[in-house]
């Protein structure tokens, strides 16, 4: 966002808007939110609903979070109207965001080590492996010896772009935004998506390949074993993109992989 064009901040007790969305947003989920905020005007689009001025965020955030968890949908509170003209950079994650699946899971399944990779992922989610880079290295190590052609197989047969992503990127380009795909996943797939979707910049990790096979080693964007893109790497990439676009440093810039 360009600070010079940012409008005045909303008061802490000002009513907020609520946007709920999901790839398959059910009528039952929508009805549940409407029952919770019956006086809020509603705007409906394919896959999303906006309820206006539902109340101060401090009073509604817990109820919204509970409903979103129950109905398995995304719910975002917007403190004030937003316009694309206020922004200069659109940053996107890849796995389970720009695309609907996880590339390492697809590779692991084809390589015959799906359950082992899933077990490490579950351990990381339970907090037993606190460091993302460590969990990624452990999962990639299980791919050692797999034919590198599996990368092409996943790219051609298994990448599922999230509905609405192409329209989002097209709108961002038309508004003059710089687009950044930054991921703790793999550059092989990120570059394919970059070409297909017209993304300006990609920052991702590299899978090492030798003699036509995966070595089980993952490297950072510059080929450095110690420079993997993790949460801090994503934040650094966003700060760099903002600096290059002349929109200043984002406040409280952080990320979870």
pLDDT interval class at 229 (50, 70, 90): very high
Which of 95, 105, 200, 230 is the catalytic position? 95
Judge whether residue 141 has pLDDT over 90: yes
> Per-residue DSSP letters for 46-109?
TTEEEEEEEEEHHHHHHHHHHHHHHHT-EEEEESS---GGG--EEEE-IIIIIBSS-HHHHHHH
* Residues 205, 185 contacting (CB under 8 angstroms): yes
Is 95 a catalytic site residue?
A: yes
Other Cβ atoms less than 10 A from the Cβ of 62: the count is: 9
Beta bridge partners of 44: 49
- Can you give the pLDDT at residue 114? 96
pLDDT over 90, % of the chain: 70
Give ranges for CATH 3.30.70.260 in the chain. 11-82
Fold of the domain built from segment(s) 89-245: Rossmann fold (3.40.50)
Of 59, 62, 51, 52, give the one whose Cα is nearest residue 12.
Answer: 59
**68 has pLDDT over 50:** yes
Average pLDDT over residues 109-137: 90
Rg of the chain on CA atoms, in Å: 20
pTM: 0.77
Average pLDDT along the chain: 88
pLDDT at 254: 42
Q: What is the DSSP letter of 161?
A: B
- In this prediction, residue 5 has a pLDDT band, given cuts at 50, 70 and 90, of very low
Given 13, 66, 93, 147, the catalytic residue: 93
Q: Is 230 a catalytic residue?
A: no
**Cα torsion for 94, 99, 100, 104, to the nearest 10°?**
-60
What CATH number has the domain spanning 11-82?
Answer: 3.30.70.260
What is the location of CATH 3.40.50.1000 in the chain? Answer: 89-245
User: What is the per-residue burial (b if ≥16 Cβ within 10 Å, else e) of 94-118?
Assistant: bbeebbeebbbbbbbbbbebbeebb
Q: Is the pLDDT of residue 248 over 90?
A: no
Q: Which helix (H) or strand (E) holds 250?
A: none
Could you tell me if 16 and 77 are in contact, meaning their C-beta atoms sit under 8 angstroms apart? Answer: yes
**Distance from C-alpha of 144 to C-alpha of 134, rounded to nearest angstrom:** 16
Measured CA to CA in angstroms, residue 173 lies from 81, 123, 168, 189, 196 at distances of 20, 39, 9, 21, 14
Which residues sit opposite 214 in a β-bridge? 209
Phi, psi torsion values for 255, nearest 5 degrees: -155, 155
């Amino acid at each position: 966002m360009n600070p010079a064009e940012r409008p005045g901040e909303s008061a802490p007790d000002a009513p907020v808007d609520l946007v709920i969305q999901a790839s398959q947003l059910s009528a039952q989920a929508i009805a549940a939110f409407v029952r919770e905020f019956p006086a809020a005007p509603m705007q409906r689009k394919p896959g999303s609903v906006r309820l206006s001025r539902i109340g101060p965020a401090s009073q509604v955030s817990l109820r919204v979070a509970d409903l979103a968890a129950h109905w398995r949908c995304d719910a975002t509170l917007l403190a004030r109207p937003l316009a694309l003209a206020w922004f200069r950079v659109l940053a996107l994650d890849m796995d389970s965001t720009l695309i609907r699946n996880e590339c390492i899971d697809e590779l692991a399944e084809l390589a015959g080590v799906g359950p082992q990779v899933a077990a490490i992922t579950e351990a990381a989610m339970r907090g037993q492996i606190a460091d993302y880079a460590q969990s990624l290295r452990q999962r990639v190590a299980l791919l050692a010896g797999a034919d590198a052609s599996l990368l092409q197989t996943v790219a051609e047969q298994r990448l599922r772009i999230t509905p609405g992503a192409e329209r989002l990127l097209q709108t961002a380009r038309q508004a003059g935004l710089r687009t950044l795909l930054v991921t703790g996943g793999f550059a092989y797939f990120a570059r394919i998506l970059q070409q297909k979707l017209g993304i300006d910049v990609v920052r991702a990790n590299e899978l090492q390949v030798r003699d036509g096979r995966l070595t089980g080693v993952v490297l950072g964007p510059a080929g450095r074993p110690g420079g993997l893109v993790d949460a801090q790497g994503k934040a650094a990439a966003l700060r760099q993109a903002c600096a290059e676009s002349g929109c200043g440093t984002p406040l409280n810039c952080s990320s979870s992989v």
